[in-house]
Structure 1
Amino acid sequence: MLDQSEQQGGGAMGAMMQDLAFAIPGVDEAMGFAEVMKQVKTMEYSVIIFDTAPTGHTLRFLSFPSVLEKALAKISQLSGRFGPMFQQMSGMMGLNANQEDMFGKLEGMRAIITEVNNQFKDPEKTTFICVCISEFLSLYETERMIQELTTYQIDTHNIVVNQLLFPRKDSNCEQCLVRHKMQRKYLDQIYDLYEDFHIVLMPLLTKEIRGTQDIKEFSEMLVKPYVPPDDLLMDVSQ
């Protein structure tokens, strides 16, 4: 029979494992986090850019380090209580599991995860750039993302609004004009919601961005504001 303290310890372990299970990301997110840990350890590059997955996957990825750090801290706290039991069970099953080695590796992993968390929360080292299009659902997802980033204490102050349509002033394309009007509506909302943010407008292009040269030309518009020709509509908030 377990005494009350052991039952409480087991309950804490069970609750911790349940929290961890709910937060475990998919293969993509786990591999992404492993890559973050690798880069933090090696620091081979001065700047690292992660092109993240859609909002839901990204939020699970961002929450994973905090949850894992808490889980490892709890395991460390409980190691003294359950360590001998783990060693005994390992011996009964014929496993050569060294308790000190295992918990030593967990502590090493915890230190790296703590460093990753600290870098995530340091605005001098990490920032998150939101990319959206000027439509309702994308604006909703962007707001959700920014709220969560604030919760995780991750810096974000840039928004890129992509695929903006600027039809010709003399255009007879009804669909083009209607879509431009819709985009202008949500672009106005973006400027109202994020007046303190740096907002970058990117036009819808007539070709696919492929190859180094196209990427270089496209990236120029990220640092130099896009100005459409005089014969295109440009009645958006500034």
Structure 2
Amino acid sequence: MRIIIYTGKGGVGKTSIAAATAVRLAAEGHRTLVMSTDSAHSLSDSFQLTLGGEPVKIAERLWGQEVDSLRETEKHWGAVQSWLSGLMSWAKLNDITTEETLVFPGMEELFNLMQIKRHAASGTYDVIIVDCAPTGQTLRLLSYPNLLKWWMEKIFPHERRLIKWARPIAKAVTGGLELPNDQVMDSIEAFVRELEDLQAIIADHAVATMRLVINPEKMVIAEARRAFTYLNLFGFNTDAVIVNRVLPEGAGSGYWSTWREIHAKYEEEIRGCFSPLPILSVPMMEREVHGLPMLKRIGQAAFSDCDASAVLYRGRIQEVRKEGDDYFLDLELPFVRKDQLQLSEKGDELTIQAGPYKNKVLLPRSLQGRPIVGARFSEQKLTIRFGGRSV
């Protein structure tokens, strides 16, 4: 079983790359499911056929699915939503905008991702390709089980007993306010347990990997760096970067030659930012990418020199850890000598210069505002020590 999750800034061609990967793997003999967990689906447009909330056969050994957000929300959150609706009615906040707040931001995407767990457990597919919501913000929510597990074990049982005892009193005192019943509490507990299981699947580096899709553009690269930092911070393995819509050599003169120079400059920056990850390149096509023939061409371009189903890189390139009052940032820097290294920090960006090359790392919030108080380079790993924030 392999799970490959594609993420990236909206508009970079993430859906096309996910679909093209699925087409290639199915052609190589893998039973492949490509599924969209983005609320704004475009997978149907990519294949030029109608997909639904359950897997639809597209070609030999290839299925597609656009997860139904409303159905998944009802399945995982229906009891809680019903109780919240009653609470809003009791508070006389029952207009149409109130109904939209009954599902918290990011929850729909999480419910959609639960389908990964279902399909992984079924054994029906060899490979699951996930077209994830832009920038992978949903994946940051998957760090919550660590906190929720503690709450479920230490706080939730006491709250549950307290609510059961207080329910009739609260209804009488408040004039009809219903505290959550056992069905609501069971629903919350089941959701947290499922989320823990899903996190365990996605955090298994032998099974699941993330792939970032980017364009050679300044803002897109900045967004990808941010996503990459947090994927590393939360322990998810990114095994490749796909640079999509690169103008090929000989794209033309004048107007196009200028753009080719810009793309070449940003391709160099991408290598500096994401090395030693494999950087796969897909040229800009002469026409729109949709339908099986064009998706096949994209898959061939992206994976001409590697196995699309393989784990293309193993290991954490960045890791943040805390020892006492100090924080440490570990960075893998292959093919670099100690005497070549220079460090500089500005705002939330750390620049590591090795000779003529620069590697820019976006610092997570836990490290921002902390001064660098030491650094050590050993066995191709740079360890940077950060002190406390100045008051």
> Is structure 2 residue 209 aligned with structure 1 residue 127?
yes
Q: More helix by proportion, 1 or 2? A: 1
SS at match of 1:49: strand
Aligned position for 1:231: none
My pick for the range that moved more, 45-54 or 102-111, is 102-111
Scaled by the length of structure 1, the TM-score of the pair is 0.71
> Is structure 2 residue 194 aligned with structure 1 residue 112?
yes
Quote the offset at 1:64 in angstroms: 1.8
Quote the offset at 1:151 in angstroms: 0.4
Matches within 5 A, 1:1-238: 24-26=104-106, 28-55=108-135, 58-59=136-137, 61-68=138-145, 70-71=147-148, 73-92=150-169, 93=171, 99=182, 105-168=187-250, 171=252, 173-224=253-304
- The C-alpha deviation readout for 1:121-169, integer Å capped at 9, x for no partner, is 1111110111111111111111111111100100012011111112538
SS at match of 1:117: helix
Report the CA distance shift for 1:98/1:166 in structure 2 as closer, same or farther (over 3 A): closer
Quote the offset at 1:88 in angstroms: 2.8
Which amino acid in the other structure matches residue 63 of structure 1? Answer: R
- Structure 1 CA distance, aligned partners of 2:179 and 2:273? 58
- Structure 2 CA distance, aligned partners of 1:32 and 1:80? 28
Q: Which runs of 5+ in 2 are unaligned?
A: 1-100, 306-391
Report the CA distance shift for 1:103/1:206 in structure 2 as closer, same or farther (over 3 A): same
Report the CA distance shift for 1:117/1:26 in structure 2 as closer, same or farther (over 3 A): closer
Scaled by the length of structure 2, the TM-score of the pair is 0.45
Greater RCO, CA 8 A, separation 6+: 2
- Structure 2 CA distance, aligned partners of 1:96 and 1:150? 40
- Structure 2 CA distance, aligned partners of 1:149 and 1:191? 18
- Structure 1 CA distance, aligned partners of 2:267 and 2:166? 62
- Structure 2 CA distance, aligned partners of 1:43 and 1:69? 27
Q: Which runs of 5+ in 1 are unaligned?
A: 1-20, 226-238
Report the CA distance shift for 1:88/1:222 in structure 2 as closer, same or farther (over 3 A): same
SS at match of 1:157: strand
Report the CA distance shift for 1:103/1:96 in structure 2 as closer, same or farther (over 3 A): closer
SS at match of 1:50: strand
**Equivalences, count:** 197
- Structure 1 CA distance, aligned partners of 2:166 and 2:264? 66
Which amino acid in the other structure matches residue 135 of structure 1? Answer: E
Which amino acid in the other structure matches residue 254 of structure 2? Answer: E
